[in-house]
Amino acid sequence: MYLENIYVSHFRNYNDFQISFQPSINIIYGNNAQGKTNLLEAIYVLGMTKSHRSFIDNTLIQKNESAAYIKGNVFFQDQTETLEIGISKTKKLLKINHNEIKKMSDYISHMNLIIFYPEDLDLIKAGPSFRRRFMNLELSQLYSTYLDVLNDYNKLLKMRNDCLKQYVKGEYVDEGYLSILNQYFVMKAELIYRMRKKFVDKLNQYVPVIFEDISGLKSFSLNYHTNIDLESDISYQIQLLEKLKKHQEVEKRLGVTLVGPHKDDLEFLLDGNLLKSYGSQGQQRMAVLALKLAEIKLFQDYKKDTPILLLDDVFSELDFHKRNNLLKHINHNTQTIITTTELELLDSKLIENASLIHIHDGKLVSKDEV
């Protein structure tokens, strides 16, 4: 899969901008604050409908404008699809091949992206919600059903929490209603758990090898952390129901659901130790990189095609040796879009075959201007 071109209007510091990409390596370069990350972000938003670095859509709209618009052509399995997204201050419009798409899950599996950017270290350093968000986003791209199941689960979670809040307020609650909610809740919880677990198991087939290739270190792995005993003969749903029962009194006092996949975590382990507490900054960075590169392989397995790889400023943070190790994993068959402030940081062979895109102040610098 690859992005043939993109048109961006009133997005961040881009007023009216258009660029074509080649199916292999593309390098966006320029000084700080010129719009390199913004362009990568526009590509990400086109595929995922949301930014990778801002939760607030309004910041994506160019200052003093009322709406942003992005359009791109994506080549996938011998066909080109046109994706469009319009973002106003109050709503978002999604289109595929000029037809409006109402359901997000029908949209985001059309353009598969893997992004690596400096703040990705939060995946290891920050709280579990970052890692759950990561799993949710990646699984939504892999299976369009995942997002539907997740939405159902979140709706049930909200209903359950609303019900528990009634206890906190001392209002009348129908116990039968809570018990029915519990039945549905554990059913959806198990579906989420199963898809996430399968995803992590598959990643574990690739991640250790890639991590070793880049860092030279063995024994890196991922672990899906849940407080359900996965070795037990008792089924997932029964165990979760029992946990709900066990926590019920505390939940009724707090007004929130304390167990379920919305509390699970993804652990990064090096030699059995949590990388979060034991790993160096460089090791953490390489672990996230290995994870992202492993995902490319996963997408290939599932979708029989490669996703688009976006690398924001990754090379400046790695030493020479690690940079070269990483380059070996950048495959010309995978469309890769890289940003950098210094072309010199990149391998000359990589540059030779790449399409070079020079950005200044939200505009393309043509070759004659250099």
Ligand X SMILES: Nc1ncnc2c1ncn2[C@@H]1O[C@H](COP(=O)(O)OP(=O)(O)OP(=O)(O)O)[C@@H](O)[C@H]1O
- Residue 341 interacts, among Mg ion, ligand X, none and using kind-specific CB cut-offs from 5 to 8 Å, with ligand X
Name which of ligand X, Mg ion, none residue 98 binds, using a CB cut-off of 5 to 8 Å depending on partner kind.
none
Residues 236, 190 contacting (CB under 8 angstroms): yes
Report the 10 Å Cβ neighbour count for 114: 22
Shortest Å, Cβ 53 to Mg ion: 9
Please say which residue, 30 or 307, places its beta carbon nearer to ligand X: 30
37 lies in the site for Mg ion, by CB under 5 A? yes
Shortest distance in whole angstroms from residue 362 CB to Mg ion: 13
292 binds, among Mg ion, ligand X, none (CB under 5 to 8 A by kind): none
DSSP percent split of the chain into helix, strand, coil, nearest 5: 50, 25, 25
Residue whose C-alpha is closest to residue 329's, from 17, 114, 98: 114
The binder of 110, among Mg ion, ligand X, none, by C-beta within 5 to 8 A per type, is none
- How many H helices and E strands in the chain? 11, 15
SS3 77: coil
Nearest Cα neighbor of 14 from 346, 368, 369, 357 is 357
Pick the piece of the chain touching Mg ion (CB under 5 A) from 33-41, 83-91, 275-283, 317-325. Answer: 33-41
For the chain, what's the residue count? 370
- Shortest distance, position 296 Cβ to Mg ion, whole Å: 22
- To the nearest whole angstrom, how small is the minimum distance from the Cβ of residue 60 to ligand X? 6
Find where tokens 């590169």 sit.
293
Q: Return the HEC string of 208-268.
A: HHHHHHHHCCCCEEEEEECCCCCCCCCCHHHHHHHHHHHHHHHHHHHCCCCCCHHHCEEEE
Q: Which residue is nearest to Mg ion (CB)?
A: 37
Q: Taking CB within 5 to 8 Å according to partner kind, which of Mg ion, ligand X, none is near residue 62? A: ligand X
Min CB(29)–Mg ion separation in Å:
11
Residue 59 partner contact from Mg ion, ligand X, none using kind-dependent CB cut-offs of 5 to 8 Å: ligand X
Residue with smaller CB distance to ligand X, 64 or 77: 64
Q: Tell me the backbone φ, ψ of residue 178, rounded to 5 degrees.
A: -60, -40
CB of 11 to ligand X, least distance (A): 8
What's the closest the beta carbon of residue 140 comes to Mg ion, in angstroms?
A: 25
| Residue owning tokens 């961040």 | 12
Handedness of CA 150, 156, 158, 161 (dihedral sign): negative
Give kind and range of the element (H or E) at residue 360: strand 355-360
Choice between 36 and 322, CB closer to Mg ion: 36
Minimum CB–partner distance for residue 354 and ligand X (Å): 18
95 three-state secondary structure:
strand
Q: Which is nearer to ligand X, 60 or 156 (CB)?
A: 60
Q: Shortest CA distance to 261 belongs to which of 143, 135, 120?
A: 135
- Give me the least distance between CB of 26 and ligand X, in Å please: 15
Residue closer to Mg ion, measured from CB, 30 or 279: 30
Cβ atoms within 10 Å of 100's Cβ, excluding its own = 9
Output 67 or 210, the one with its CB closest to ligand X: 67
* Interface of this chain with ligand X, residues 3 to 62, rule: CB under 6 A: 12-13, 30, 32-38, 59, 61-62
**Total residues in contact with Mg ion, by rule CB under 5 A:** 1
Residues in contact with ligand X, counted by CB under 6 A, come to a total of 16
What is the DSSP track for 176-217? Answer: HHHHHHHHHHHHHHHHHHHHHHHHHHHHHHHHHHHHHHHHS-
Q: Strand pairing partners for 356? A: 27
- What kind and span of H or E run contains 17? strand 14-20
Binding mask 307-346 for ligand X (x = CB under 6 A): ------x---------------------------x-----
The entry of ligand X, Mg ion, none near residue 32 (CB within 5 to 8 angstroms by kind) is ligand X
Residue among 157 and 311 whose Cβ is closer to Mg ion = 311
**Interface with ligand X (CB under 6 A):** 12-13, 30, 32-38, 59, 61-63, 313, 341
Residues that bind Mg ion (CB under 5 A): 37
